[in-house]
Amino acid sequence: MLTRFHDENIISIELVDGGLSLALTLNGAVANVYITCLKKLRVDRFQEGNIVNSVFVYSGEECLGHEESIRTALRYLYDIDAQSIKNKPSLTPFLEQQFKKIINGELILVEVEPSYGCYIVALGEKFRINRARLD
């Protein structure tokens, strides 16, 4: 599954029952994005008025063709740079194991790329969206 949103706002970020809940605006409504069984989360640059450029949800074979984006997001998520891999080569098999779990649909990788503000990468087991109209 590869899902994409564009030019939305982050309303809230919450850790709930071992998972992640993101509230985003979506076409005049609030979209509550849930990632259950959260394995790892990294949030950077949260600011007032966060604007989302894109949200990508990677899981399953539909992600083939996006391998480099997934690997880059995983390295960011685990704060692993090229020097870290050089100093500790055992990190490479770990990242590849996580990558394979995403491609096999065992894990979901969610990447929220900002136009302004907050950058989020989360790894969990399941993903769902609930929408409610804004009045």
Instruction: Dump pLDDT digits (tens) for 16-59.
Output: 999 999 888 877 788 888 999 999 999 988 777 777 878 888 99
Is 84 inside any structural domain? yes
**Residue 110 tokens, joined:** 């969610």
Burial class (CB within 10 angstroms; exposed 0-12, middle 13-18, buried 19+) of 44: exposed
Whole-structure pTM value:
0.84
Number of separate domains in the chain: 1
Is 20 inside any structural domain? no
Instruction: Dump pLDDT digits (tens) for 92-119.
Output: 888 889 999 999 999 999 998 887 878 9
Is 55 inside any structural domain? yes
**Residue 133 tokens, joined:** 């109209």
Is 16 inside any structural domain? no
The mean pLDDT of 57-84, rounded to a whole number, is 88
Is 135 inside any structural domain? no
Dihedral pair phi/psi, residue 95, rounded to 5°: -65, -40
**Which residue range(s) make up the domain with 115?**
2-6+39-123
CA-nearest of 10, 35, 34 to 24 is 10
Is 44 inside any structural domain? yes
